[in-house]
Chains A and B, each alone.
Chain A
Amino acid sequence: MMAFEGLTSRLQQVFGKLRGKGKLTEDDVNEALREVRLALLEADVNFKVVKQFVAKVKERAIGQEVQKSFTPGMVVIDIVNKELTDLMGGTQSKLVRNNKPPTVIMMVGLQGAGKTTTSGKLAKWLQKQNHRPLLAAGDIYRPAAIKQLQILGEQIKVPVFSLGDQISPIEIARQALQHAKQHGHDYLIIDTAGRLHIDEQLMDELQQVREAVQPDETLLVVDAMTGQDAVNVAESFHQQLALSGVVLTKLDGDTRGGAALSVKAVTDCPIKFAATGEKIDALEPFHPERMASRILGMGDMLSLIEKAQAGIDADKAAEMERKLRKAEFTFDDFLDQMEQMKKLGPLDQILDMLPGMGQMKGMKDMRVNEKQMARTEAIVKSMTKQEKGNPELLNLSRRKRIAAGSGTTLQEVNRFIKQFDDMRKMMKQLMGSSGKPGKGLKNIKNMFGKGMKFPF
């Protein structure tokens, strides 16, 4: 029911269908992009921005060569990711610094976006870099907003300039700037009251503050959970105040944060900071590429793509999948699979990266034991060629022989064979007859829930 599947799981189905072609056709791309579109909309990216974006990706994707080690779906994802990172701003953007201090930063935004808290965090962040910030309490409207800033200032030992709530914010800003100059502060951060972008009177007030102190940075504070309206808000603030950057707040929540993309698209202002918690030091420089994959909900799909590029033999992988689906999977294949996995790196990390696995809580607890893996390998190696191809042959006396040959116990051999069997069944279910992973995934989840382990 929750709309939180993420693109990875959505694209699994598309992956399957797209496999094994030379060039991406328009149909291939359309199918994949339909899922991309829904994923972006579910992430709250504005629908107009989505439309433009999808059109752009489509143009780039059609006719793309699909390399051997890639599935066509991965090619599409790769393009989507690159375009998205590009749109997000490519590289990190720094805070402006005025050669003639103080550098003046004005914080603006809707009610409840997190301006006051972010002002405090920014002061702390500057302080850590040996600056001497001054905070100015310009929110004279919300009850106890000044008090809130004063408490924050006390906590981090940054002075707060206030004239109470009876003096206009314009005058407060003006005097705060004087104060900063006189007392050798190199940064002035002006907190302002939250307001609606359509509130002419209050927006006019901000323009006057702006004229009075000529800020070097006008930062729009945006709640990462904002929906479709983010474009209207950002566009309007930008028009009236010529923003220089954006701060995205509440990113420690479970929102995908598509608003980031919307805001970037309509203002073309860089997102300079990400706020990730209620603690005063929970402010980080913004990383566009991380945000891109968060919006898509792809987990580490991207690194899997990178690794796939480096390692996996596509022909072998396709053959393996065919075997899994038909439950023809043998002990030989199993050893092969282990070899491939080893090439890719630690097993639990790989499992994390597989589409759909990231969502499974049980997977996280499944520590893969390297020693166990070596013993498993020994068991398989003690089987005859015939036995490896036909697991059904393994009766009691054969099992005893294998145990002796591999230096393990009969119990261990039994357990492994049982697990191998379960795995074959599970894989068969997982793949289903149609090759769709949908229902099978639930089964696999149940099995892990009950403490099922991979046989190594």
Chain B
Amino acid sequence: MSFFQRLKDSIKQKTEAITGKFVAGLSKTSSAFVSQVSDLFSRRKKIDEDFYEELEEILISADVGVHTVLQLIEDLRKEVRVQRIEEPAKLQPVLSELIMKLMRNEQSLSLKQSDSGLTIYLFVGVNGVGKTTTIGKLAHYLKSQGKSVMMAAGDTFRAGAIEQLEVWGERVGVEVIKQQSGADPAAVMYDAVHAAKNRNVDVLLCDTAGRLQNKSNLMDELNKVFRVIQREVPDAPHEVLLVLDATTGQNALSQAKLFGEKSGVSGLVLTKLDGTAKGGIVIAIRNELKLPVKFVGLGEKMDDLQPFDAEQFVHALFSQMNDEDEVADK
């Protein structure tokens, strides 16, 4: 069975609705990319230096990251030698499988949960990437799974941040624990953790102020928030999710590295995939820092959040190529 057949089968087992939504969201994103890629593979007759150069450009244009692209191309060259591949068309599935292998989550797809009692997720990231919105969406998502949810307004810095989270709280019907603007975010977290414990809530979602990863004082402040949560609930936070904007380029690597150091990032949320950016930098982050993508944001409404699935991701990224592969299979 061909690689894509396997991929198709495995996707079919998933609920059609989710896949449909995912592909719809990504189709805008990937159409340019896909046509470029399939165009490259079908137009080129030889696997030569020009071919590799063009492929390199296509991957770079998806923000995959220079180092990772060079490495992918190197791996591809190796496969070409080993498998004695001569036609560019035969290289499509090889490339897809390379990326798939990189992006597939070995760990379970779902978010880690507490064995006993309260589960806490902390959201971190630079300014404007979509932390607060993602928390609103995730609250909705978890509620629809029957969980009781609470949110902590840990961004006491940005004007209107608390009010923004409160609007989301009303929207999705979830209580928000807050203090006044300018309060110590660690103190807000302390309050929130205790409120969540007292009320026997299942999941507490903690918002934090956006900050650039090179500001050491702000990163230390985040570290303090992290430690307070750790101290109050020993195995918490159960996930620290770094929210990344899909339009971000190479700087996302620096974000993942430095937020990782200060707040023990365990996974990524890739937002704004409903735009034209490809978010390929998550491939580089996965490659270099081993951080998995857990969720993707596909819009501004409360149900525009989907669990990340490497198979769907690659499927959507190469959907046009898939069809061609199918034809070739027959």
Pick from A114, A143, A149: contact of B128, CB below 8 A: A114
Assess A112 versus B57: contact at CB under 8 Å? Given A151-B159, A225-B126, A253-B212: no
Question: Are A44 and B168 in contact, with the CB atoms below 8 A?
Answer: no
- Collect the chain A residues with CB atoms within 8 Å of residue B181's CB: 151
Question: Are A223 and B250 in contact, with the CB atoms below 8 A?
Answer: no
Question: Are B67 and A3 in contact, with the CB atoms below 8 A?
Answer: yes
B129 CB–A CB distance under 8 Å: yes
A142 CB–B CB distance under 8 Å: yes
Assess A198 versus B159: contact at CB under 8 Å? Given A1-B288, A113-B128, A253-B213: no
Question: Are B127 and A250 in contact, with the CB atoms below 8 A?
Answer: yes
Task: Give Cα A250 to B255, complex, Å.
Answer: 13
Assess A44 versus B249: contact at CB under 8 Å? Given A111-B300, A148-B158, A229-B276: yes
Q: Mark B278-319, 1 if CB is under 8 A from A, else 0.
A: 100100000010000000000010000000000000000000
Task: Give Cα A151 to B181, complex, Å.
Answer: 11
Question: Are A143 and B277 in contact, with the CB atoms below 8 A?
Answer: no
- Collect the chain B residues with CB atoms within 8 Å of residue A122's CB: none
A232 CB–B CB distance under 8 Å: yes
Pick from A113, A144, A225, A259: contact of B164, CB below 8 A: A144
A192 to chain B minimum Cβ distance, whole angstroms, is 15
- Collect the chain B residues with CB atoms within 8 Å of residue A147's CB: 159-160, 163-164
Task: Give Cα A230 to B61, complex, Å.
Answer: 11
Pick from B245, B254, B275, B281: contact of A254, CB below 8 A: B254
B148 CB–A CB distance under 8 Å: no
B248 CB–A CB distance under 8 Å: yes
- Collect the chain B residues with CB atoms within 8 Å of residue A233's CB: 247, 275-276
Task: Give Cα A127 to B71, complex, Å.
Answer: 52
Among residues of B, the one whose C-beta sits closest to the C-beta of A258 is B249
Pick from B62, B66, B168, B247: contact of A226, CB below 8 A: B247
Among residues of A, the one whose C-beta sits closest to the C-beta of B58 is A47
Chain B, range 77-127, C-beta contacts under 8 Å to A = 126-127
Question: Are A143 and B168 in contact, with the CB atoms below 8 A?
Answer: yes
Among residues of A, the one whose C-beta sits closest to the C-beta of B129 is A112
Task: Give Cα A43 to B257, complex, Å.
Answer: 17
Among residues of B, the one whose C-beta sits closest to the C-beta of A224 is B251
Task: Give Cα A151 to B180, complex, Å.
Answer: 14
Among residues of A, the one whose C-beta sits closest to the C-beta of B164 is A144
Q: Mark A138-176, 1 if CB is under 8 A from B, else 0.
A: 000111110111111001000000000000000000000
Among residues of A, the one whose C-beta sits closest to the C-beta of B289 is A1
B28 CB–A CB distance under 8 Å: yes
Task: Give Cα A334 to B159, complex, Å.
Answer: 59
Pick from A3, A112, A254: contact of B214, CB below 8 A: A254
Assess A3 versus B250: contact at CB under 8 Å? Given A41-B66, A196-B275: yes
B202 CB–A CB distance under 8 Å: no
- Collect the chain B residues with CB atoms within 8 Å of residue A227's CB: 63, 247-250, 277, 281
Q: Size class of A's contact patch? A: 35 or more
Question: Are B275 and A110 in contact, with the CB atoms below 8 A?
Answer: yes
Pick from B57, B212, B250, B257: contact of A250, CB below 8 A: B212
Task: Give Cα A224 to B135, complex, Å.
Answer: 25
Chain B interface, >50% SS class: loop
Q: Mark A269-299, 1 if CB is under 8 A from B, else 0.
A: 0000000001000000000000000000000
Among residues of B, the one whose C-beta sits closest to the C-beta of A155 is B159
B207 CB–A CB distance under 8 Å: no
Question: Are A4 and B254 in contact, with the CB atoms below 8 A?
Answer: yes
- Collect the chain B residues with CB atoms within 8 Å of residue A252's CB: 212, 214-215
A208 CB–B CB distance under 8 Å: no
Q: Mark A100-112, 1 if CB is under 8 A from B, else 0.
A: 0000000000111
Chain B, range 219-264, C-beta contacts under 8 Å to A = 245, 247-254, 257
Q: Mark A181-224, 1 if CB is under 8 A from B, else 0.
A: 00000000000000011100000000000000000000000010
- Collect the chain A residues with CB atoms within 8 Å of residue B253's CB: 2-3
Assess A229 versus B160: contact at CB under 8 Å? Given A112-B245, A143-B168, A250-B127: no
A90 to chain B minimum Cβ distance, whole angstroms, is 25
B28 to chain A minimum Cβ distance, whole angstroms, is 6
Pick from B62, B129, B164, B281: contact of A143, CB below 8 A: B164
Assess A228 versus B61: contact at CB under 8 Å? Given A42-B66, A142-B164, A278-B127: yes
- Collect the chain A residues with CB atoms within 8 Å of residue B272's CB: 110-112, 196
- What 7 A-B pairs come out closest when comparing CB atoms? A227-B249, A112-B128, A148-B160, A143-B167, A44-B249, A151-B159, A229-B277
Given contacts A47-B57, A227-B249, 7 further A-B contacts (CB under 8 A): A2-B253, A2-B254, A3-B67, A145-B160, A152-B159, A229-B275, A254-B213
Which residues of B line the A interface, CB within 8 A? Answer: 28, 57, 60-63, 65-67, 126-130, 157-161, 163-164, 166-168, 171, 181, 212-215, 245, 247-254, 257, 272, 274-278, 281, 288, 300
8 contacts between A and B (CB under 8 A): A2-B257, A3-B65, A38-B66, A42-B66, A44-B250, A144-B166, A196-B275, A228-B60
